Amino acid sequence: MKVLLAYPEFPDTFWSFKHALRFPGKRSAYPPLGLLTVSALLPPSWEKRLVDSNVQRLKDSDLQWADVVFFSGMIVQGSSMKEQIARAKRLGKRTVVGGPIASAHDPSISQADHIVEGEAEDVIGELAGDLERGAAKPQYSSPQMVDVTRTPLPDLHLASMGRYSCMSIQFSRGCPFTCEFCDIIEIYGRRPRTKTPDQVCAELDQLYRLGWRGSVFMVDDNFIGNKKSVKALLPRLVEWMREHKFPFTLFTEASLNLAEDEEMLELMRAAHFTRVFLGIETPVAESLKETTKFQNLRKDLLESVRLIQAYGMEVMAGFIVGFDNDPPDVFDRQIEFIRQAAIPLSMVGLLTALPNTQLWRRLKAEGRLLKSSLGNNTLADLNFIPRMDTQELLEGYRRILRTIYNPREYFQRTSAFLSQLGSGSRSPLVFSDLVALSRSLWRQGLLSNYRQEYWKFLVQSLRLHRQHFSKAVTLAIMGHHFFALTSATETN
């Protein structure tokens, strides 16, 4: 059989990094790791083709080539997926949908012929056999959380690697915590399951063999969810990196209790981790208690961020407004915390009730749900009735964005971060970095309306933070994306 693996387009959001990716000449941040893993699970006799709509156009000829089209994606990709499913069906193709959007029972996929809910490893064989016999069922569901030590290497050779700014690998699934708004624990469970160190090193070997050099994102939703397994992995990662002369820089997502374990921080620094995304959410203790994010209450938030930064890792963080216990001054407190913590890339969003989460169930019981989530926690996706006046919440949210992504404020915060950043790993220099620098000097340094602040920042970085200058350039470019998105938010 011929299978087309189709990945729908992401809308332009803070997470798309669309306006920053143009500088190094890339089309998307990461390839679709889930689809590439599904590809590896399919019968080797099947012919496979990947079309990621974020890096290339899905053509009718691609659809006509296929016997069956496999779609995967997240809720935020629902609009694009709905349109692509309709195109495939008009051409008489069988359609299969899996991934988080299927587990969320999103209405945009209702026209698909076959829906796979949950993880693929335990159902893909049955689905493939049924498709070959022409007897596939409308619905498939994984009966249990899978053993990820049986997960094969993804079919990375199907991806046009040069079109992405970063590659991705996965170590674990699941998270031990109970954050009310989070759907990870609903889909992947609260007992983090991990691959073996040998599996992770094999994935790095594959990337190295395919010629990749540069950033690698470890896509775990909480890299340190199973600390025992992480501490078994990290020495192997350090060894692998040293043997291969550090061809990659790593970044990941973790819970804030990472700051409670300096042994782990030191191992991560040695393994070339240069950035970690943390779910800080809010400096308001009552709101953290409301959402049962108790792990963020065990240690001072600022102290935790600064300790991680001191180990040479940039902290990128998520923040949320719209909790029931948010006080009227929550917007000022968020701004002040982001400023004091010196977190350049602060992803501030409105609380949204994702399907099948504890928050969704509570708000539904309270009669406060308004609509299904679009998976985009910005002004377009307030899908419940907040305790705070809605207009006050929306205007306060806009004020946070226009404050923290005012170019002067952003560059000042980034300079403060570089002052706090401890010694760490240097990123391997690749050609796209030089392209990005030249385009940054032209577009930001000469054409932008914030060029004065840009040059002041670059000169200060060269003078005071020479050892982190490449990081300064990267953050200047990423700032451009946030400036553009914030400006668009103001006009909506």
Q: DSSP assignment of 290-356, as one string?
A: HTT-GGGGSS-HHHHHHHHHHTT-EEEEEEEE--TT--TTHHHHHHHHHHHHT-SSEEEEE----TT
The pLDDT of residue 2 is above 80: yes
Asked whether the beta carbons of 118 and 141 are under 8 A apart, the reply is yes
Q: Is 374 among the domain residues? A: yes
Per-residue CA distances from 425 to 71, 171, 391, 431, 466 (Å): 37, 21, 45, 19, 14
Q: What is the 3-state secondary structure (H, E, C) of 256-286?
A: HHHHHCHHHHHHHHHCCEEEEEEEEECCCHH
Per-residue CA distances from 334 to 3, 38, 346 (Å): 47, 40, 10
pLDDT of residue 374: 82
Do 237 and 103 lie in one domain? The reply is no
The residue assigned the tokens 């809720």 is 75
Asked whether the beta carbons of 492 and 379 are under 8 A apart, the reply is yes
pLDDT of residue 14: 86
Interval 284-304: pLDDT, tens: 999 999 999 999 999 999 999
Asked whether the beta carbons of 167 and 216 are under 8 A apart, the reply is yes
Q: What is the mean pLDDT of residues 181-209?
A: 96
The residue assigned the tokens 């991806």 is 159
Q: Is 377 among the domain residues? A: yes
Interval 35-71: pLDDT, tens: 999 999 999 999 999 999 999 999 999 999 999 999 9
Do 26 and 131 lie in one domain? The reply is yes
pLDDT of residue 380: 63
Q: What is the mean pLDDT of residues 435-443?
A: 96
pLDDT of residue 428: 64
Q: Is 317 among the domain residues? A: yes
Interval 216-270: pLDDT, tens: 999 999 999 999 999 999 999 999 999 999 999 999 999 999 999 999 999 999 9
Asked whether the beta carbons of 5 and 70 are under 8 A apart, the reply is yes
Give the three-state DSSP class for 254: strand
Beta carbons within 10 angstroms of residue 119's beta carbon: 24
pLDDT of residue 379: 67
Q: Is 177 among the domain residues? A: yes
- pLDDT bin (cut points 50, 70, 90) of residue 277 is very high
Q: Is 425 among the domain residues? A: no
> Beta strand 47-52 with 2-7: parallel, antiparallel or unpaired?
parallel
Do 177 and 110 lie in one domain? The reply is no
Do 281 and 266 lie in one domain? The reply is yes
CA angle 34, 205, 55 (to 5 degrees): 40
Do 100 and 157 lie in one domain? The reply is no
Which CATH number do you get for residue 340?
Answer: 3.80.30.20
The pLDDT of residue 492 is above 60: no
Do 169 and 118 lie in one domain? The reply is no
Q: What is the pTM of this model?
A: 0.95
Tokens of 428: 């391997």
Report the chain's terminal Cα–Cα distance, integer Å: 46
Q: Is 426 among the domain residues? A: no
The pLDDT of residue 273 is above 90: yes
Domain count, the chain: 3
Task: Choose the final residue of a domain: 141, 167, 186.
Answer: 141
pLDDT of residue 469: 93
Q: Torsion over CA of 115, 121, 122 and 127, rounded to 10 degrees?
A: 40
Task: Choose the final residue of a domain: 141, 170, 195.
Answer: 141
- pLDDT bin (cut points 50, 70, 90) of residue 431 is confident
Do 211 and 295 lie in one domain? The reply is yes
pLDDT of residue 381: 73
Q: Is 217 among the domain residues? A: yes
Distance CA 244, CA 407 (A): 39
The residue assigned the tokens 């156009």 is 57
> 11-25, 143-157, 346-360, 377-391: lowest mean pLDDT where?
377-391
The residue assigned the tokens 């195109």 is 87
> 53-57, 335-339, 463-467: lowest mean pLDDT where?
463-467
Q: Could you give the count of Cα atoms lying within 13 Å of 417 in the half-sphere of its Cβ?
A: 30
Tokens of 318: 């998520």
Do 367 and 485 lie in one domain? The reply is no
Q: Is 202 among the domain residues? A: yes
Do 184 and 209 lie in one domain? The reply is yes
Task: Choose the final residue of a domain: 112, 141, 170.
Answer: 141
pLDDT of residue 209: 98
Do 163 and 260 lie in one domain? The reply is yes
Q: Which residues contact 459 (CB under 8 A, 6 or more apart)?
A: none
Q: Which residues contact 61 (CB under 8 A, 6 or more apart)?
A: none
pLDDT of residue 490: 64
The per-residue pLDDT of the chain, averaged, comes to: 95
Q: Which residues contact 280 (CB under 8 A, 6 or more apart)?
A: 256, 296, 301, 305, 317, 318, 319, 337
Do 153 and 297 lie in one domain? The reply is yes
* Residue ranges making up the domain that contains 411: 148-420
Interval 307-330: pLDDT, tens: 999 999 999 999 999 999 999 999
The pLDDT of residue 31 is above 80: yes
Do 364 and 483 lie in one domain? The reply is no
The residue assigned the tokens 């790791």 is 33
Q: Could you give the count of Cα atoms lying within 13 Å of 220 in the half-sphere of its Cβ?
A: 29
Provide the edge-to-edge strand list for the sheet that holds 314-321.
167-169, 214-218, 248-254, 273-281, 314-321, 346-350
Which CATH number do you get for residue 67?
Answer: 3.40.50.280
Interval 346-401: pLDDT, tens: 999 999 999 989 999 999 999 999 998 888 767 667 899 999 999 999 999 999 99
